[in-house]
Amino acid sequence: LIAERMKTLSTSENPYRSDLSLALLGPILLDTVNMSPEAQKGTERDQVAIDTLVKNTDWSDLPDQAVFLRGDSDAPDLTKFYEYLRDSKFDPAFWNDLSVIDCLRLDYKRFQHEASGNIFGASSVLLPMKSFVSKKDLASEIKQYMEMADIPLLAVLSMTVVDDTPKREMLLAGKDTALVDSMASFLLQQNDMLGLTEVSTENIKDDFVVRQFTQANARASRKQTAPIMFQFYDQQEN
């Protein structure tokens, strides 16, 4: 949106600053997996924004710390830029060093169903679910985080990239076994939208349950998953 609005302000005498264009290009390249056809996330609107930023920027003033991104011209090599951002964002050492609570709070959103008032949380984590569930004190830290966030249900959404292809997994956790099981059953039925397959269920001390899934539809991020979870509460209301 910002890139689209900037398009009306750019002229050959008044090009964009390179640092600003890099800041705008980065999220687009990450969100679209560098416009990878396999990921099927990039849109025509995204491509227009990328092309506009590259074309209308004065790349001669590229910041010193970004000069290594240059390609054959002053402009950055977009693939090199994307790979640098991807490797930094998905750095396994960074994610493996985080505690469970730090992983959960790094990219967390709280949702409330308007009609019923029911609340749930969703945390996005950028490491394989196998690595996440292997972390020390998994259950106790999830419970602690949920108490801090004051939520009865938490979805942990894992996303990794393998050969530029996104891979997604999901975990549901909560104290109310009936709620977790009901939500899990509902989501398992959304085959066209999510394509979940259950990997494991773990009951901990009879008052906490964790259910883990693989997700076939790698395009369904939190932006798509949260509205599907809202449909569960719509169904409960009806």
Contact 215, 111 (CB under 8 A): no
The two tokens of residue 114 are 């308007």
Q: What integer pLDDT is reported at residue 47 of this predicted model?
A: 94
Question: What b/e readout covers 176-214, taking b as 16+ CB neighbours within 10 angstroms?
Answer: eeebbeebbebbeebeebbbbeeeeeeeeeeebbbbbbe
Q: What integer pLDDT is reported at residue 15 of this predicted model?
A: 87
pTM confidence score: 0.74
The two tokens of residue 183 are 């939500």
| Backbone φ and ψ of 9, nearest 5° | -100, -15
Q: What integer pLDDT is reported at residue 132 of this predicted model?
A: 95
Q: Where are the beta strands (DSSP E) in the chain?
A: 16-17, 57-58, 108-112, 119-125, 153-162, 165-174, 196-204, 208-215
Distance CA 196, CA 187 (A): 7
Q: Tens of pLDDT along the chain (238 residues)? A: 677 666 666 555 678 999 999 999 999 998 888 998 887 888 999 999 999 999 999 998 888 888 888 888 888 999 999 999 988 888 999 999 999 999 999 999 999 999 999 999 999 999 999 999 999 999 999 999 999 999 999 999 999 988 778 899 999 999 999 999 999 999 999 989 999 999 977 765 557 899 999 999 998 999 999 999 999 999 887 7
How many angstroms separate the Cα of 96 from the Cα of each of 137, 142, 168? 14, 16, 18
Q: What integer pLDDT is reported at residue 100 of this predicted model?
A: 96
Q: Report the candidate in 217, 198, 200 with the shortest Cα–Cα distance to residue 209.
A: 200
Exposed (0-12), middle (13-18) or buried (19+): which is 21, by Cβ within 10 Å? buried
Q: What integer pLDDT is reported at residue 205 of this predicted model?
A: 52
| Backbone φ and ψ of 110, nearest 5° | -105, 135
* Angle ∠(46,224,150) on CA atoms, nearest 5: 125
Q: What integer pLDDT is reported at residue 73 of this predicted model?
A: 83
Q: What integer pLDDT is reported at residue 204 of this predicted model?
A: 56
- Tens digits of residue pLDDT in 152-168: 999 999 999 887 788 99
